[in-house]
Every structure is written in structure tokens, then in C-alpha cells.
Amino acid sequence: MRALDAVVLTHDIPEHGLKEGDVGAVVHRYEERDAFEVEFVTAEGKTVAVLTLKESDLRLMEGDEILHVRQMASA
């Protein structure tokens, strides 16, 4: 994984309203920590969360996958 790659969350992160399968973008890779800064946004471009995650929290999006839309829970 590298900067600007689209990635898929492998598990829910309820404290940020994120669910397994949500798509984010790698904005930075920490080589020394094998970790990634990932931004998750709404369809309007509003940032939901920017999180530091491990490789096991993510997977690369595959070319034959279809995206799915869901409503964010109200705060």
C-alpha cells in the first residue's frame, strides 16, 4: 500500500462510525511503523475520520469490486 491507494476497512471502528467494507484513501505511509494514515470521507467530501491504521486493518481495493453506499449514523 502506498499514498493515494484506495483501501477497504477489514473491520468496524464504531467510535468513528466506520464499518467493515468502508473505503478510504491512504494519505501517508509510516515506513518505520508499518502503519498508514487513512482518510475516510462522505460522498460530499466531508472528512469522517483520519486514522492511523495497521496493514491488518486494511486491504487494497480490487478492480472487479463494486462500491456500495450507506448512510452515516447521525451524531
Residue 31 confidence (pLDDT)? 84
Contact 33, 19 (CB under 8 A): no
Q: Supply the CATH classification number for the domain 6-60.
A: 2.30.30
pLDDT, one tens digit per residue, over 9-39 is: 999 999 999 999 999 999 999 988 889 999 9
Please report, for the chain, the start and end positions of each structural domain, with discontinuous segments joined by +.
6-60
Contact 46, 40 (CB under 8 A): no
pTM of the model: 0.88
Does residue 46 or residue 73 have the better pLDDT?
46
Cell 484506495, located at residue? 6
Residue 32 confidence (pLDDT)? 85
